[in-house]
Amino acid sequence: MTTGVEVLSVEFRAVYSSSGFSMKPARYKLSSKKTPVKVRPGSKDLVKVFCRIRPLHNNEESCVKVTSQTTLSLLPPETRGSHRLANCKEIHHTFKYVFDAKATQKEVFDHVALPLVENLIHGKNGLLFTYGVTGSGKTFTMAGEPHNGGIMPRCLDVIFNSISSYQAKKFIFKPDKMNDFDIQSETDAVLDCQNEIHCARSLKTLRKKESDVDLSQRIPDGTKIESVVEDNSYAVFVTYVEIYNNAVYDLLENVPEDIIRSRQFQSKIVREDASHNMYVHSVTEIEVKSTEEAFDAFNKGQKRKRMAITTLNSESSRSHSVFTIRLVQAPLDSQGEHVFQDRKAMCISQLSLVDLAGSERTNRTKNSGQRLREAGNINNSLMTLRTCLEILRENQLYGANKMVPYRDSKMTLLFKNYFDGEGQVEMIVCLNPSIEDYDETVQVMKFTETTQEVQISQPAIRKLDFGLAPGRRKASHIFKQALQKMEDNGHKETSDIDVDIGIVYSLLPALPCLELTDPSMDTLIKDLAMFLELRMNRKNILLKDWHQKHQDFYKRLTEVEKEKLLAEQKCSSLKTAVEQGRNKISALEARLVGYESYVMNLEQQVEEKEVTLVTLKQELENQEILLQELLEKERLRKEYSDRTEVDKDKNSFFTLKNLKEQESVLKTQMRYQEQKLRKVKQILTEDSCLSTHAPRQSTKSLAIICKPPVLKTNISSHVFSSQSCKRGPAVSNRRHRRSQSAGDGTWLEHRPVPAIELSTLMQPLMKRYKSVTKLTDVKDIANSKTSKYCLMTQEQDSSGELETHLYKADVVPTVGGGAQVIFNDVETLKQQSPTTTPSRKRSASTSKLKDTEAECAMFMEGHKRARH
Ligand SMILES: Nc1ncnc2c1ncn2[C@@H]1O[C@H](COP(=O)(O)OP(=O)(O)OP(=O)(O)O)[C@@H](O)[C@H]1O
């Protein structure tokens, strides 16, 4: 389909001098015959002069004061003789812009060189040179340092940033050695490429040696110019020459090693090309495809450039160096694929970056010999430049027609075209603010004043219509992509698809050559009418299509508008949702903060608990240790008790044995006591027999019969009984010691129950005695004083009479500190009622005897216990 076509034209700019002297075509090769040329004189611009002040060295005094962004003052040093003569006022100067010592390389580039690069891409020429006293920072500003690039590397960066996607293949544009370019076919370009690779291999070693600069430190400038014509193809070429002692040398020329070492380069001549442009004849022009390649070439030239150590600069340029970037651009053909093979369509623009050598005063530099000659030449060429500019200004200001002496110096000759109006001219004046440089700085200022007044014509813009539509590159790209997609989707016959992208946008082929030589040539008029009719038809179709497209577009626009409204609504609802979401998030965040603090508290608590746990564990361990110790003790105790038990058993065995022995002893004693008791019994029995006839007597006991106070009858009889009746009246003799109860030792009288008062005549005799009711303390009996023991018991006999028994015993101390009580006597005091029958008395006395035995036994037992 070839509908929907819009006719557009390609815009080109051509540079023409409009100074009024002569009109000369610049780099655009335009056919004056076929293509009508419309000349529009361009406007005039003053040379833009910038000023950059370099930083001072330590403790140096400054003679420059920056007063604003565009002005500065020169302060005359009072000590200088020259100023005592001159008027010692401050000198004020105005510039396009003043960069103080703190200004960065980037700032300088953006202000000064970036517009020139933009112009270059848009097809305009430019000249930028640095001017100043030696050591004022010209080379620093132009080239910079590897890590802090100056204007030149930044220009290259910006150019390649902008055109890298639209670069032509290498050698498509080929320098013709006469300051112009040819457009080669792709095949020729490929052949040249192979040639170059072959040459490069042989020169590899040499090149490496010459340009082994470390580019790793380089920080590229990222600026990109957007207004690049996409439908053009671009190629960048660089040249680097120096003007030394008024001779031009090619710094990029491939020359043998010995020539490089001896520095005997062949100088070049400056010539004028067919378009009256000045150029260095047969200069090496390198096509570069990246900043790195261009920088490589620059560094190669920089190494060859003549530099020297002088008093004022350790790396002083002894020559003017000119680094030229030429940008060649040509439109793509109608298919948007290859370069349009027409030299007329080609546009060549160039940017010359000139680092002038510094002006020098020989009395300051103390140069001599070669350096002096160099300085002389430098100063001469600068002087010529100054003269040229002065005359130019004069011609412009006063309408004079003086000849500008460009040819006096190679440098001015080379820049002639610029000053004649071939492009924009800019200058950076570098200043060393040191007071030492004051005099030279004043001279520099005078030169800048002149330069600022020189006007340079700006090239006119012209349009050339090659019938090529814009967007070819994109269309071709899209078409290729579509083909690729089709191939990917399995379409095999894609090579047959032939779409003429150009036709889509063009109206019709160009008007045929219709020359009306004879007014009667009707056929020609008919042909012309037919051609115009066709065009009209075509136009109508296109108009119809346009209307259709317009309607479609309007419809689409309405839809888009609706979609936009919907989208806006959606957007606002989304915004609300987002707002809500945000609120929710902030609430959640607040909660989160709360939880976090809570968690922190918990963590703190956990930490504390952990500390407590550790303490408790410690305590537990201690307790366990204690428990272990206790268990151990318990075990030992048990072990000990077991042993004790065994010992006890052993002891009990022995005790039993002892007891048995004691028992046998006691049994013996008992037998003895029994015998005694039997005797007492016998006596008692005899007494009872006697009682009926005579008072009873006993050898060991005395029975006193008397009337007990509690008896029922008042009749009482006293019966005296003694162990031996043979003792006679001892009973009534008070002085007579009665029985054994009257001993010399102290008696222990033992009365278990409170005794009933005996109202008998005969009373037991105990001179010294101690009375106890209970025998609990062994000390009562086992002491040194007590030698006798008397146990008193009172009871009623079977006949109801009171019977008082006194069991007497000797207390014998034992070895172990105790005492042995040996009963040896019993006294019975008995009160008898005269009314009681003898049988009953006898039975009572018999039972009494038995009781006495038992009691004796019992008390003996008690004594045993007490003793034990
Ligand atoms: N703006 C600046 N910032 C920091 N250093 C600077 C600046 N300008 C110049 N310099 C330093 O001053 C010294 C001299 O600078 P440079 O070589 O560029 O001077 P020049 O004008 O080119 O001298 P000549 O004319 O002799 O070649 C160099 O060491 C350079 O690094």
- Mutating to test ligand 1, I would choose from 102, 109, 133, 139 the residue with most ligand atoms within 8 A of its C-beta, which is 139
Distance (angstroms) between ligand 1 centre and the Cα of 408 equals: 28
Residue 756 reports pLDDT greater than 80: no
Which ligand 1 atom minimizes the distance to the CA of 140?
18
Backbone angles phi, psi at 750, to 5 degrees: -115, 110
- Mutating to test ligand 1, I would choose from 100, 145, 313, 362 the residue with most ligand atoms within 8 A of its C-beta, which is 313
Residue 725 reports pLDDT greater than 50: no
Distance (angstroms) between ligand 1 centre and the Cα of 200 equals: 35
For 695-867, which CATH superfamily applies? Kinesin-like protein Kif23, Arf6-interacting domain (2.60.40.4330)
Residue 757 reports pLDDT greater than 60: yes
84 vs 445 pLDDT, higher one: 445
Strands (E), 452-550: 455-457, 461-463
Work out whether strand 769-772 and strand 746-750 pair parallel, antiparallel, or are unpaired. Answer: parallel
Identify the band that residue 816 occupies on the pLDDT scale cut at 50, 70 and 90: confident
Average pLDDT score over residue span 398-410: 88
- 411 vs 803: CA distance, rounded Å: 175
Least confident range from 478-482, 591-595, 645-649, 681-685: namely 681-685
- Candidates 331, 423, 338, 507; CA nearest to 124 is 423
Residue 844 reports pLDDT greater than 60: no
Neighbours of 172 (CB within 10 A): 25
Residue 94 reports pLDDT greater than 90: yes
Backbone angles phi, psi at 843, to 5 degrees: -60, -35
- 453 vs 45: CA distance, rounded Å: 10
Q: Is 667 annotated as a binding residue?
A: no
DSSP assignment letter at 622:
H
- Predicted confidence at residue 301, as pLDDT, reads 86
- Predicted confidence at residue 337, as pLDDT, reads 82
Instruction: List 327's β-bridge partners, or say none.
Output: 236, 349
Identify the band that residue 696 occupies on the pLDDT scale cut at 50, 70 and 90: very low
Residue 21 reports pLDDT greater than 70: no
How many Cα atoms occupy the beta-carbon half-sphere of 525 within 13 Å? 6
Q: Is 137 annotated as a binding residue?
A: yes
Amino acid at 773: T
140 lines ligand 1 (CB under 6 A): yes
Average pLDDT score over residue span 228-242: 92
Backbone angles phi, psi at 171, to 5 degrees: 70, 10
315 lines ligand 1 (CB under 6 A): yes
Distance (angstroms) between ligand 1 centre and the Cα of 135 equals: 5
- 619 vs 612: CA distance, rounded Å: 10
- Candidates 324, 322, 321, 258; CA nearest to 288 is 324
- 177 vs 175: CA distance, rounded Å: 6
Distance (angstroms) between ligand 1 centre and the Cα of 439 equals: 19
Least confident range from 70-74, 250-254, 318-322, 712-716: namely 712-716
Q: Is 94 annotated as a binding residue?
A: no
Collect all residues with Cβ–Cβ distance below 8 Å to 712 and sequence separation of at least 6. Answer: 800, 833, 835
The answer to whether residues 799 and 756 touch, using CB atoms and an 8 Å cutoff, is no
- 699 vs 564: CA distance, rounded Å: 156
Distance (angstroms) between ligand 1 centre and the Cα of 140 equals: 5
Identify the band that residue 11 occupies on the pLDDT scale cut at 50, 70 and 90: very low
The answer to whether residues 69 and 97 touch, using CB atoms and an 8 Å cutoff, is yes
- Predicted confidence at residue 55, as pLDDT, reads 93
Q: Is 4 annotated as a binding residue?
A: no
Q: Is this complex scored with an ipTM above 0.85?
A: yes
What is the percentage of the chain residues whose pLDDT exceeds 90?
25
Do the domains 12-463 and 695-867 sit in the same CATH topology, yes or no? no
Q: Is 692 annotated as a binding residue?
A: no
pTM of the model: 0.56
For residue 697 the two structure tokens come to 């007597």
Distance (angstroms) between ligand 1 centre and the Cα of 344 equals: 44
pLDDT in tens, 770-781: 888 887 787 888
Buried b (16+ CB within 10 A) or exposed e, 622-657: eeeeeeeeeeeeeeeeeeeeeeeeeeeeeeeeeeee
* Domain ranges across the chain: 12-463, 472-505, 507-511+521-669, 695-867
Which DSSP string do the residues of 464-475 spell out, in sequence order?
---SPPTTHHHH
SS3 string, 625-646, reads: HHHHHHHHHHHHHHHHHHHHHH
What is the helix (H) or strand (E) element at residue 175, kind and residue range? strand 173-175
What is the helix (H) or strand (E) element at residue 139, kind and residue range? helix 138-142
Q: Is 139 annotated as a binding residue?
A: yes
Mean pLDDT of the chain: 76
How far from 745 is each of 444, 450, 560, 776, 815, CA to CA, in Å? 157, 164, 149, 21, 20
Kindly calculate the radius of gyration of the chain based on its CA atoms and give it in whole angstroms: 75
**Which fold is adopted by the domain 12-463?**
Kinesin (3.40.850)
pLDDT in tens, 360-369: 665 555 566 6
Distance (angstroms) between ligand 1 centre and the Cα of 130 equals: 12
CA 852 remoteness from chain centre: 113
pLDDT in tens, 187-201: 888 888 888 888 777
The answer to whether residues 213 and 293 touch, using CB atoms and an 8 Å cutoff, is no
For residue 398 the two structure tokens come to 């006063």
Distance (angstroms) between ligand 1 centre and the Cα of 556 equals: 62
Identify the band that residue 827 occupies on the pLDDT scale cut at 50, 70 and 90: confident
Which DSSP string do the residues of 402-455 spell out, in sequence order?
PPP-GGGSHHHHHHHHIIIIIEEEEEEEEE--BGGGHHHHHHHHHHHHHHHT-E
Strands (E), 251-356: 267-268, 270-272, 278-280, 286-288, 307-308, 316-317, 320-331, 347-355
Which protein residue has the closest C-alpha to ligand 1 atom 12?
A: 137
The answer to whether residues 289 and 170 touch, using CB atoms and an 8 Å cutoff, is yes
134 lines ligand 1 (CB under 6 A): yes
Least confident range from 93-97, 493-497, 561-565, 857-861: namely 857-861
Which ligand 1 atom minimizes the distance to the CA of 358?
25
